[in-house]
Amino acid sequence: MEHPDFILKCYNKQELAQMYFPDLSVRASVNKLRRWMRKCKPLMEEILATDFHPKTKAFSVREVRLITYYLGKPGDL
């Protein structure tokens, strides 16, 4: 599913993960997004330099910007 109207804003982790992987369950999509993020070393280096904490329930605008920069926007996969 494409998201041509993707807006750069704060997203709940579940919401963003479902945008990337709409065919998976919420839990599976969050786990897959987490795995993709961990595998992208430049993303993790930059995101850890922010106030990112893996236990938070949402991504900040800055974190979403980094995620979409390195992984592409939802629907671009």
- What does the domain layout of the chain look like in residue ranges? 11-71
* Residue 52 confidence (pLDDT) above 70: yes
H/E stretch holding 58 reads strand 58-59
Do 12 and 57 form a contact (C-beta atoms < 8 A)? yes
Do 61 and 8 form a contact (C-beta atoms < 8 A)? yes
* Residue 1 confidence (pLDDT) above 80: no
Q: What percent of the chain has pLDDT over 70?
A: 94
- pLDDT 10s digits, 26-48: 999 999 999 999 999 999 999 99
